[in-house]
Structure 1
């Protein structure tokens, strides 16, 4: 597979573009990877926005059932859903005016990558910000 998210794109999203991260698939389940990554992002100065059908408050932040329900702009849409659903989330990210989309480890949809980048958004696929951020130094 091609490297979907080169060093420059990863750096741009983590250090330049993304202050508000909508974390799609984030719930109150502390055992899930989404919870740990969201906490990591908060600890590194990012505002997280939980997006989950239950619309739960997570890590002190109000949750929303969908990206369309978030009443303010988001910079990055961080996707913790399976690959079969990820393309729809990427399309929603484009529709709400996000600047970037980040598909987590194991989340791959090459068609969604093509659509999202063609729409002018930066995109990283099959990587984790909690791994990439420390690696950047």
Structure 2
């Protein structure tokens, strides 16, 4: 079952250090752009992933084509894709050994969540970490 209890969400966010943001945008009017900045300001390293802007930089971080290009340990994959496309990102997260997947507000894919959980990943669906951080009163990472 996806994580829904405040204590579980708090633990996940407190244990996370490196986030890969799938569907990152270089456009300030896009939610993923603002969420990336918020997460960075909270102390997380946020690695943007978007095949359409690969090689560019967003908020000082190189944009990768896909998760397999990153080549370092990923604690959490934050997915800004529609519900149908989220499954592919979840499968990539499983393949690279991420510890958790977080499907953004409005993104619900039960089959992908089941695959992730079966592979040992923690799963959050239909929530935004940038909203949960202040709601759960999680202090910025030092």
TM-score (norm 2): 0.90
CA displacement 1:73-103 (0-9 Å, x = unmatched):
2110000011111011001101001001000
Runs of 4+ aligned residues of structure 1 deviating over 2 Å after TM superposition are: none
Superposition map of 1:10-49 within 5 A: 10-16=9-15, 18-49=16-47
Q: Runs of 5+ in structure 1 lacking a partner?
A: none
Q: Runs of 5+ in structure 2 lacking a partner?
A: 138-142
Alignment CA distance shift 1:4-1:118 (3 Å): same
Superposition map of 1:59-70 within 5 A: 59-70=59-70
- Equivalent-residue separation in structure 1 for 2:49 and 2:106 (angstroms): 19
- Equivalent-residue separation in structure 2 for 1:12 and 1:35 (angstroms): 25
CA displacement 1:1-59 (0-9 Å, x = unmatched):
xx83222331122111x101000010211111001111010011100100001212100
Superposition map of 1:115-134 within 5 A: 115-134=115-134
Contact 2:2 2:122 (8 Å CA) reproduced: no
The match for 1:135 is: 135
- Equivalent-residue separation in structure 2 for 1:15 and 1:39 (angstroms): 18
Matched, 1:85 2:93: no
Q: How many residues align?
A: 134
Contact 1:9 1:122 (8 Å CA) reproduced: no
